């Protein structure tokens, strides 16, 4: 019976209507749809549209001015980033590169030039701000450990472990030069004005991790306080030339990324029976 059948079998499937960015209009049981045939040729499925293979016609050939207007109105964020892509392509290809004999150019250093002059001329203020920043780092650490040891929620701690390990790998792999105008302090973190990795900022990333955990627990006011202190911390780090702007920006992204990965790890760990052997930690990590 199978040998008598036709080799190509047509099956009708329903797809979303054009234009491609709009949802189907459903009225009762009637759905505006476009029929596409799927043929089986040599055991492989190929979609056919209007007698032609579906993959042959470029997607943009079906676009209309109405589609473009729809995207510009309801998807303006990607449009803004598209304009940013074109702008920075122009900037990149027309910008003179910094010669190897000059210090790196950092826009954040330019913006905080006045603050740097104040801190350079007033070591007492610099030391005070450094001490306050170290207290803030202690607050981050205390909250993350409290969430794990007291409340039994390890996600923030796992996130911090992921983050600082990755930071160590990246910081050692590419060791950026210390800015020439760096203003150190003996009470800054790491305490004692010792060496440290520039890329990326653990100060900023740790604060983001703590703030995200606070939001999960609906501690909104505390989270906003940490966000404000994190911004002030970033300004101070630029003013003292303790970090490049890129260190701070990536620090924000790293905090978000590793918090997400820690959440995924928590989800996967719940299904692993190996955690039963962890004794007292089983109830915390599962």
**Which residues have a catalytic role annotated?**
203, 243, 247
> Are 214 and 117 spatial neighbours (Cβ–Cβ below 8 Å)?
no
The DSSP secondary structure of 6-34, one letter per residue, reads -S---EEEEEPPSSTTSPPPEETTEE--E
Nearest-Å Rg of the Cα atoms of the chain is 28
* Distance, CA of 167 to CA of 251 (rounded, Å): 9
Q: What angle do CA 90, 93, 98 make, to 5 degrees?
A: 125
* Distance, CA of 203 to CA of 238 (rounded, Å): 12
* Distance, CA of 210 to CA of 180 (rounded, Å): 32
> Are 242 and 195 spatial neighbours (Cβ–Cβ below 8 Å)?
no
94-110 b/e (C-beta count within 10 Å ≥ 16 → b) = eeeeeeeeeeeebebbe
* Distance, CA of 265 to CA of 201 (rounded, Å): 23
Strands of 22-151 (E only): list them: 26-27, 30-31, 34-41, 44-49, 52-53
Q: List the structure tokens of 177.
A: 């030069």
The single residue listed with the structure tokens 């992204």 is 253
């Amino acid at each position: 019976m199978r040998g008598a059948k036709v080799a190509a079998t047509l099956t009708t499937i329903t797809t979303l209507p054009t234009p491609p960015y709009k949802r189907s209009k459903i009225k009762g049981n009637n759905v505006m749809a476009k029929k596409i045939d799927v043929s089986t040729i040599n055991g492989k499925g190929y979609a056919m549209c209007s007698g032609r293979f579906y993959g042959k016609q470029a997607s943009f050939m079906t676009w209309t001015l109405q589609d473009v207007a729809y995207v510009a109105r309801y998807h303006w964020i990607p449009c803004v980033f598209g304009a940013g892509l074109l702008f920075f392509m122009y900037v990149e290809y027309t910008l003179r590169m910094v010669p190897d004999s000059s210090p790196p150019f950092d826009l954040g250093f330019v913006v905080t030039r006045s603050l740097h002059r104040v801190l350079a001329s007033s070591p007492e203020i610099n030391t005070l701000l450094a001490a306050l920043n170290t207290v803030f780092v202690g607050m981050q650490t205390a909250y993350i450990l409290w969430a794990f040891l007291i409340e039994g929620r390890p996600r923030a701690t796992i996130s911090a472990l992921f983050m600082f390990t990755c930071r160590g790998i990246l910081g050692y792999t590419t060791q950026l030069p210390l800015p020439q105008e760096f203003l150190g302090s003996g009470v800054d973190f790491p305490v004692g004005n010792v060496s440290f990795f520039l890329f990326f900022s653990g100060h900023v990333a740790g604060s983001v991790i703590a703030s995200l955990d606070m939001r999960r627990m609906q501690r909104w006011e505390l989270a906003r306080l940490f966000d404000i202190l994190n911004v002030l911390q970033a300004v101070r780090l630029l003013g003292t030339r303790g970090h490049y702007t890129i260190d701070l920006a990536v620090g924000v992204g790293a905090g978000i990324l590793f918090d997400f990965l820690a959440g995924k790890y928590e989800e996967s760990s719940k299904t692993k029976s190996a955690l039963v052997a962890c004794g007292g930690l089983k109830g915390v990590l599962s």
